[in-house]
Amino acid sequence: MSPDGDEIKAADVKELRDRTGAGIMDCKAALGEAQGDIDKAIEILRVKGQASAAKRSGRATSEGVVTSYIHATGKVGVLVEVQCETDFVARSDEFKEFAREVAIHIAGTPTPPLVVSAEEIPEEAREAERRVFEAKAREEGKPDDIVAKIVDGQLQKWSKQAALLEQEHVRTDAYDGKTIEELRAEIASRTGENVRIARFARFVVGE
């Protein structure tokens, strides 16, 4: 029998909230549906979160912030624009902190992103990389029948490295290996708004 709201432990609600970023009532409901099983509750929240995110993704984002971050050396700087739906969320400390963390990541990652999402990579850039990977595979003497598979795998890996949303936040200790997209989805879930990283620019002295 599923536990009701009174039987659900506050500690379990807190743990679920810490692990997912979901609201208290959502955590209680998920734990009730999962009969107190935290792992099952996480899965339930993820499914519901994906559905909610899909609905939010089409909503207009006319508010937001432009955040800057300058590395301590003074040789690397980043500007990033993060959008949301309302001025209320845009002015919140949580939203501003998310934008700052995105900027920190772009400044500090050893593989600087080229675009926000993989879909934004120009087709000519993909084809240029494909030609390079194919030529390298043939130079290494790879059989023709597996060259295409090798190239497709390398191109997929390159696309993830090039796209900001696909990258794991550089502060892995603080964010447990979560990608920028996962962090974006979490704040979108907590605020109930469509949160979008619109654009960014990275400046390096001498480059």
pTM of the complete model: 0.66
Q: Which residues contact 159 (CB under 8 A, 6 or more apart)?
A: 118, 121, 126, 166
| 169, 105 contact by CB (below 8 A) | yes
| 32, 8 contact by CB (below 8 A) | yes
Q: What pLDDT score does 160 carry?
A: 83
Q: What pLDDT score does 112 carry?
A: 92
Q: What pLDDT score does 93 carry?
A: 95
Q: Which residues contact 17 (CB under 8 A, 6 or more apart)?
A: 23, 24, 27
Q: What pLDDT score does 1 carry?
A: 37
Task: Walk along the chain (207 residues) and give the pLDDT tens digit of each residue.
Answer: 344 444 678 888 888 777 766 667 778 888 888 888 888 888 887 766 654 555 555 566 679 999 999 998 899 999 999 999 899 999 999 999 999 999 999 999 999 999 999 888 888 888 888 888 888 888 877 877 788 888 888 888 888 888 999 999 999 888 888 999 999 999 998 888 889 999 999 999 988
- For residue 6, count CB atoms less than 10 angstroms from its CB and return exposed for 0-12, middle for 13-18, buried for 19 or more: exposed
| DSSP strand pairing (76-84 vs 63-70) | antiparallel
Q: What pLDDT score does 20 carry?
A: 66
Domains of the chain (ranges plus CATH)? 10-56 (1.10.8.10), 63-115+163-204 (3.30.479.20), 122-162 (1.10.286)
CA atoms within 13 A on the CB side of 81: 9
For Cα atoms 158, 110, 116, give the angle at the middle one, nearest 5 degrees. Answer: 55
Q: Which residues contact 163 (CB under 8 A, 6 or more apart)?
A: 113, 114, 115, 116, 117, 118, 120, 121
Residue-wise over 163-201: b if at least 16 C-beta within 10 A, else e?
Answer: bbbbbbbbeeeebeebbbbebbbbbbbbbebbbbbeebe
